């Protein structure tokens, strides 16, 4: 069996990726200290796949504990590294927490990857590495600019650390730059579990619609866009998950021409915040209680993907529409409320 270690496997994208890996014949173990996730999400993974996933509840910043996972599983052939803190606002308030956690966990994983000669490594990156691009539509060759937050810096640094490390360690790697992952698995057995007040748009929408939040804010409608609100490339989490399976298939089939390749994972369509809200209202038949408020510091006007490279080289075709994203997100929110 092709055994894959998924770090952050109890997280939003990690759990959806475990489902896809299993459905495509991989054997999976998870490492997640559940500091920002719930082990219960693996019950949902089991309901979908019929497989119980072993999770090593380990702080990956502790080398010896990370090393022990590899000693116990010498048959790991690939790693997908999701485990990291990802709240932009929190990273601004507490940069050292982000640099410490996100970089040290990556370093420990890469040290073990090298020591145990694990051949394949997939790194969870983000469109945030582009900073505020001159052109809203970005390709993988779009120049990397100043990160907008310490979180963004940890993704930029993470990419560099991976690129520099794999050269000297015969590791074949892929960096996947997600745009805005949203929605829930179509089975509605797993989905996003934001901790505390949601920073991201779609959980804020669904929590407002279900009544967990009294009202939500649209952070600015005075941007130079179609309707004044920011443009983003929302992508269904299940489409994101499948891209990881395709990335491993691609590396195992030795289709890569360099030992570190980068792929944008977005639909290629940009939607404004207000368009996203109106789509939610149409799909849910709910009128959303929102107000237009001041811009949020650190927000960029617009960014969306040129996803040609992932389509051509990985054979990746995003399947879910914005309506599907809003529908599954809403069904998941209603299930959480039960």
Which positions are annotated as active-site residues? 151
Which residue, 243 or 273, is less far from ligand WQD as judged by CB? 273
CB of 85: closest distance to ligand WQD in angstroms? 10
Which residue, 172 or 185, is less far from ligand WQD as judged by CB? 185
Contact positions with ligand WQD (CB under 6 A) in 118-157: 126, 128
Contact positions with ligand WQD (CB under 6 A) in 10-69: none
- The answer to whether 272 touches 230, Cβ cutoff 8 Å, is yes
Q: State how far the Cα of 3 lies from the Cα of 244, in Å rounded to an integer.
A: 14
Which residue, 70 or 263, is less far from ligand WQD as judged by CB? 263
How remote is the C-alpha of 269 from its chain's centroid? 18
Site string for ligand WQD, 80-119 (x = CB under 6 A): ------x-x-------------------------------
- 230 scored as a contact of ligand WQD (CB under 6 A): yes
Which residue, 251 or 329, is less far from ligand WQD as judged by CB? 329
The residue from 2, 39, 219, 228 that contacts ligand WQD (CB under 6 A) is 219
Q: State how far the Cα of 244 lies from the Cα of 264, in Å rounded to an integer.
A: 12
The residue from 232, 236, 244, 327 that contacts ligand WQD (CB under 6 A) is 232
- The answer to whether 331 touches 325, Cβ cutoff 8 Å, is no
- 176 scored as a contact of ligand WQD (CB under 6 A): no
CB of 245: closest distance to ligand WQD in angstroms? 20
- The answer to whether 192 touches 318, Cβ cutoff 8 Å, is no
- 273 scored as a contact of ligand WQD (CB under 6 A): yes
CB of 6: closest distance to ligand WQD in angstroms? 16
CB of 308: closest distance to ligand WQD in angstroms? 21
The residue from 184, 216, 243, 305 that contacts ligand WQD (CB under 6 A) is 216
Which residue, 91 or 172, is less far from ligand WQD as judged by CB? 91
Contact positions with ligand WQD (CB under 6 A) in 181-210: 199-201, 204
Q: Which residue is nearest to ligand WQD (CB)?
A: 230
Which residue, 117 or 144, is less far from ligand WQD as judged by CB? 144
CB of 142: closest distance to ligand WQD in angstroms? 15
CB of 91: closest distance to ligand WQD in angstroms? 10
Which spans of this chain sit near ligand WQD (rule: CB under 6 A)?
86, 88, 126, 128, 180, 199-201, 204, 216-219, 230, 232, 273, 296, 299
């Amino acid at each position: 069996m092709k055994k894959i270690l998924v770090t952050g496997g109890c997280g939003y994208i990690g759990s959806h990726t475990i489902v896809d890996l299993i459905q495509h014949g991989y054997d999976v173990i998870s490492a997640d200290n559940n500091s920002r996730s719930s082990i219960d999400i693996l019950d949902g993974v089991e309901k979908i796949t019929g497989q119980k996933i072993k999770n090593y509840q380990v702080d990956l910043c502790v080398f010896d504990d990370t090393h022990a996972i590899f000693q116990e599983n010498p048959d790991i052939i690939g790693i997908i590294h999701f485990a990291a803190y990802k709240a932009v606002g929190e990273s601004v308030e507490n940069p050292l927490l982000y640099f410490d956690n996100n970089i040290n966990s990556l370093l420990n994983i890469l040290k073990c990857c090298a020591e145990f000669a694990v051949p394949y490594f997939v790194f969870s990156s983000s469109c945030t590495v582009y900073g505020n691009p001159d052109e809203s539509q970005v390709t993988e060759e779009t120049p990397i600019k100043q990160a907008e937050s310490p979180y963004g810096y940890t993704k930029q640094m993470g990419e560099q650390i991976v690129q520099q490390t794999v050269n000297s360690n015969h590791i074949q790697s892929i960096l996947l730059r997600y745009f805005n992952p949203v929605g829930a698995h179509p089975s509605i057995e797993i989905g996003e579990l934001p901790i505390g007040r949601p920073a991201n748009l779609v959980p804020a929408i669904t929590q407002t619609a279900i009544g967990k939040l009294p009202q939500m804010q649209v952070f600015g409608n005075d941007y130079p866009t179609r309707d004044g609100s920011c443009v983003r490339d929302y992508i269904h989490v299940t489409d994101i998950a499948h891209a990881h399976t395709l990335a491993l298939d691609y590396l195992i089939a030795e289709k890569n021409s360099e030992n570190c390749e980068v792929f944008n994972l977005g639909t290629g369509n940009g939607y404004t915040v207000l368009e996203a809200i109106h789509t939610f209202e149409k799909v849910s038949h709910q009128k959303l209680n929102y107000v237009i408020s001041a811009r949020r510091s650190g927000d960029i006007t617009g960014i969306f993907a040129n996803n040609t490279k992932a389509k051509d080289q990985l054979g990746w075709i995003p399947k879910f529409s914005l309506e599907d994203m809003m529908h599954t997100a809403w069904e998941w929110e209603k299930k959480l409320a039960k």
